[in-house]
């Protein structure tokens, strides 16, 4: 399947890409998208979380909105069947990435699928990403060691660890494998995390909101998509660089990673 390489940059002084937002779960999404676009947020990547939800994500594909498809570790049930469904959906719908996939070993009140089932699912979905030359959008909670070991098996696959909240030491292990790290509203609540992102190579940071699940009321009021600008402002300040320079670098990182995104932005 053909892919589109980026050949142009956004000419607006502030033009953002939200690399991870669940628009299918955002109330009043049309109005909130319009508000976000008015603030310079031009493109949005919407990850899938399970096969039954993929049609909603695919249905959002429109000007500036693009889908990724995958089975989230919370929703893994039958890895073999889910991988077959994903293989067919990749061919039919040309997602920009495989995701949201990964491992979540957090033990809380809500039980998660067994570790071996999650690992089986991730291996199958990583293999599909490798086969189709697609990046992956990764979810990793209490499972960094296991996640890193699986990623090492697929050296041709690149991607992003979304909503990264780990230490600099863990970050450096993902960087060594060629992965980017997603900076979202968590950085607004954690000066320590801001310092981690301050020390990362600028070429490895992408911006996200994870809307509506990490809503930050101080940033966007009732519109979680508007938190993206505040995340960018906080990290630009932490790195002591102009917002425009930080935004441009993050945008170019996202363009490079998700090469199926068209080189086109909404008119300003």
DSSP readout, 9-72? ---SSS-EEES---GGG-TTHHHHHHHHHHTTEEEEEE---SGGGHHHHHHT-BTTEEE-B---
Identify the pLDDT of residue 214: 84
Identify the pLDDT of residue 264: 57
Residue 132 is labelled as binding a ligand: no
Residue 93 is labelled as binding a ligand: no
Residue 230 is labelled as binding a ligand: no
Residue 144 is labelled as binding a ligand: no
Identify the pLDDT of residue 14: 57
156 or 6, which is more confident?
A: 156
pLDDT tens string 75-130: 999 999 999 999 999 999 999 999 999 999 998 888 899 999 999 999 999 999 99
Q: What is the mean pLDDT of the chain?
A: 92
Residue 22 is labelled as binding a ligand: yes
Quick check: 265 pLDDT over 80? no
Which residue segments constitute the domains of the chain, with CATH numbers given? 16-257 (3.20.20.140)
Identify the pLDDT of residue 261: 84
Residue 8 is labelled as binding a ligand: no
**Where does residue 240 rank: exposed (0-12), middle (13-18), buried (19+ CB within 10 A)?**
exposed
């Amino acid at each position: 399947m053909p892919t589109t390489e980026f050949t142009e940059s956004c000419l607006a002084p502030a033009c953002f890409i939200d690399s991870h937002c669940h628009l299918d779960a955002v109330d009043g999404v049309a109005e909130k998208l319009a508000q976000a676009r008015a603030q310079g947020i031009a493109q949005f990547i919407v990850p899938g979380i399970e096969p039954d939800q993929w049609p909603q994500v695919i249905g959002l594909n429109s000007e500036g909105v693009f889908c990724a498809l995958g089975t989230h570790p919370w929703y893994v049930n039958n890895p073999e069947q889910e991988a077959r469904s994903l293989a067919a959906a990749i061919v039919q719908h040309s997602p920009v990435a495989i995701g949201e996939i990964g491992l979540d070993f957090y033990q809380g009140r809500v039980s998660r699928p067994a570790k071996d089932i999650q690992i089986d699912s991730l291996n199958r979905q990583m293999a599909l990403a490798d086969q189709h030359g697609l990046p992956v959008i990764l979810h990793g909670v209490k499972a960094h060691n296991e996640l890193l070991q699986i990623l090492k098996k697929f050296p041709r696959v690149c991607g992003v660890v979304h909503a990264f909240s780990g230490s600099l030491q863990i970050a450096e292990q993902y960087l060594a494998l060629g992965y980017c790290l997603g900076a979202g509203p968590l950085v607004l609540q954690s000066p320590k995390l801001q310092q981690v992102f301050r020390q990362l190579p600028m070429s490895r940071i992408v911006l996200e909101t994870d809307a509506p699940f990490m809503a930050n009321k101080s940033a966007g009021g009732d519109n979680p998509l508007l938190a993206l600008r505040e995340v960018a402002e906080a990290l630009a300040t932490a790195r002591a660089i102009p917002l425009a320079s930080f935004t441009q670098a993050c945008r170019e990182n996202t363009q490079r990673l998700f090469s199926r995104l068209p080189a086109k932005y909404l008119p300003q």
